[in-house]
């Protein structure tokens, strides 16, 4: 219980950082600021300067929801797996919120500094998040909320474990490629590689899982 409280307080502290930064930026902002950016990193939506707090608010809500879901996964998951490690999912919730806070800070910076190439930070950051999730995947115990929740993985624990080992490797590789692409390439190529990586990261583990299912849940 004590570890859970520490994790929750850590998450709240992390999610509070963008609000502090937004408050710092607020006095120097113009009356109208960008509120949305397209795939090229160009502003295509605008609002008054009070809207600088909207993004951090949305991200904080999503972050807290994600944390509570992960931290209580053993209680709310119908499988109620005894193998579920509470501290593992709590730590994952903290890291997820750290990533969301980084995204929020990047957006706030670009809002206050129009013309900054957001893609040079955003795409490498997304790549790092893919790689981090890939590292976590093999540690996921069978559950209904986090991971590749396919009919075959949920029906068979061995299928689940092997699929997440494969997914871990694929996400690590694709995440690393996304980091490199984000650093070296311009916005449009990075965007194309981003979606190509998404397709690969979803299809490869899914196809592997299905083939394993058709093979009697033995390695194909």
**For the chain, which residues make up each domain, given as ranges?**
1-116, 117-220
Residue-wise pLDDT tens digits, 143-169: 777 788 888 888 888 999 999 999 999
Q: At what angle do helices 119-136 and 187-214 cross, to 10 degrees?
A: 20
> Which of 13-22, 61-70, 194-203, 205-214 comes out lowest in average pLDDT?
61-70
pLDDT of residue 86: 66
Mean pLDDT over the full length of the chain: 83
Long-range contacts of 208-212 (CB under 8 A, 24+ apart): 208/162, 208/163, 208/166, 209/148, 209/150, 209/152, 209/153, 209/159, 209/162, 209/163, 210/150, 210/152, 212/152, 212/159, 212/162, 212/163
Q: How many other β-carbons are positioned within 10 Å of the β-carbon of residue 108?
A: 22
**Phi, psi (5° rounding) for residue 112?**
-85, -15
Whose CA is closest to 201, among 163, 150, 167?
A: 167
Residue-wise pLDDT tens digits, 70-114: 777 777 766 655 555 667 778 788 888 888 898 889 888 888 777
Identify whether the C-beta of residue 182 lies closer than 8 Å to the C-beta of residue 122: yes
pLDDT of residue 166: 94
pTM for this model (two decimals):
0.76
Q: What is the DSSP letter of 144?
A: S
Please name every residue paired with 32 in a beta bridge, in sequence order, or none if there are none: 48
Alpha carbon distance 187, 214 (integer Å): 41
Instruction: Check residues 84 and 212 and name the one with the higher pLDDT.
Output: 212
- pLDDT band at 188, cuts 50/70/90? confident
């Amino acid at each position: 219980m004590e570890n859970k409280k520490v994790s929750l307080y850590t998450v709240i502290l992390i999610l509070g950082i963008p609000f502090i930064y937004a408050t710092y930026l607020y006095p120097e902002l113009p009356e109208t600021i960008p509120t949305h950016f397209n795939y090229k990193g160009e502003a295509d939506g605008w609002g008054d300067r009070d809207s600088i707090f909207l993004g951090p608010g949305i991200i904080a809500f999503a972050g807290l929801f994600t944390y509570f879901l992960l931290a209580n996964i053993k209680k709310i998951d119908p499988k109620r797996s005894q193998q579920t490690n509470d501290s593992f999912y709590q730590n994952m919730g903290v890291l997820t919120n750290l990533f969301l806070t980084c995204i929020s800070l990047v957006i706030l910076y670009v809002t206050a500094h129009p013309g900054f190439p957001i893609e040079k930070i955003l795409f490498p950051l997304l790549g790092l998040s893919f790689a981090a999730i890939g590292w976590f995947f093999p540690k996921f115990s069978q559950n209904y909320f986090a991971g590749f929740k396919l009919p075959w993985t949920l029906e068979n624990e061995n299928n689940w474990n092997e699929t997440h080992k494969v997914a871990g490797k694929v996400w690590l590789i694709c995440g690393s490629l996304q980091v490199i692409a984000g650093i070296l390439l311009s916005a449009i190529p990075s965007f194309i590689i981003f979606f190509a990586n998404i397709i690969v990261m979803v299809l490869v583990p899914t196809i592997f899982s299905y083939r394993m299912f058709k093979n009697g849940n033995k390695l194909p």
